[in-house]
Amino acid sequence: METSTSYLEHVNIMKELNLHSDFSKVREPYKENFEAIYEEAKAADVKVSNAKDFLNELSAEEMSTLQNYARLVDEVVVNELSDEGAYNLLVHFYEKYDFDNDGITEIGKGKNVSMIPQNMDNDLKEAFVNAINNTDEDDMLAMMVLTLDIDRIKYTMAKHMEAMSESEKAFMREQSSFDIDQFIADQLKNPYHPKPITYESLMDRIDGILNPTGGNYSSPELQESMQKFSETLKNEYQKIKDQNSRDYENSLALSELVKNHDPKAKKQESALETLLQI
């Protein structure tokens, strides 16, 4: 299976995400058969480049399992899939990945937005997962609005508009309050790639929900949930940063001991390695 460093780091973080109970409930009837296919793919060392070849060897029953486990409406037709869409059919939710970095995770022919965006640094990603895990299940989906990619939505809209017939565009020009031709040109002038989500930009989004301006509105219930989430996220992020600082200081101290040939260095190094493995 895929083994790049960035991919494995993302997978290890995503694996810790507690999903809504409905996610597992609807997949339970197909779970055992899916796991059998997954183990077969793992044994065959399936990668993005050869996932379609692997799918072509599966039976109709196995393909049906993948379709139902992925919650796809349409039957899977292998030659209609991208390499990314084929690979993501064969792996667990936490292993699905946007390999071409276009902001969309393809699963079969389905196009999805990742629950935890890849364009966060690992510290923020880990803190976000921890905060979601400490959020009431009924509020989980509401928290995902924080990572909604507005630029991706605009780009997708522009692509749809560009594909319209001239008569459809003419009708939109009459009805729209903005210049749709300019909108299409602005959005499609460059290939789309997600912008990094930073801790600061995420907190700005939270502040926009807690203190809406410009005619925006947030319900009292959403604000209450968002306030709790904000505090949890801050605490989780700070814990991770503090641990990183301690690890860095320990590494510097160990390096200094080794450099000075201190006889305690080997003992200290062994103890530190043991600690970091826990």
Q: What amino acid is encoded at 142 in this protein?
A: A
Q: What is the pTM of this model?
A: 0.83
Measured CA to CA in angstroms, residue 254 lies from 257, 271, 272, 276 at distances of 5, 10, 8, 13
Tell me, what's the pLDDT at 22? 87
Read off φ and ψ for residue 179, nearest 5 degrees. Answer: -80, 100
Tell me, what's the pLDDT at 24? 87
- CA–CA separation, 95 and 84 (whole Å): 12
Nearest to residue 86, comparing CAs of 31, 47, 30, 44? 47
- CA–CA separation, 205 and 147 (whole Å): 9
Give the pLDDT confidence of 65-100 residue by residue, as tens digits: 999 999 999 999 999 999 999 999 999 999 999 999
pLDDT, one tens digit for every residue, the chain (278 residues): 999 999 999 999 999 999 888 888 999 999 999 999 999 999 999 999 999 999 999 999 999 999 999 999 999 999 999 999 999 999 999 999 999 988 899 999 999 888 788 999 999 999 999 999 999 888 887 888 888 888 888 998 999 999 999 999 999 999 989 999 999 999 999 988 888 999 999 999 999 999 999 888 999 999 999 999 999 999 999 999 999 999 888 888 888 777 776 555 555 555 555 555 54
Nearest to residue 128, comparing CAs of 110, 106, 145? 145
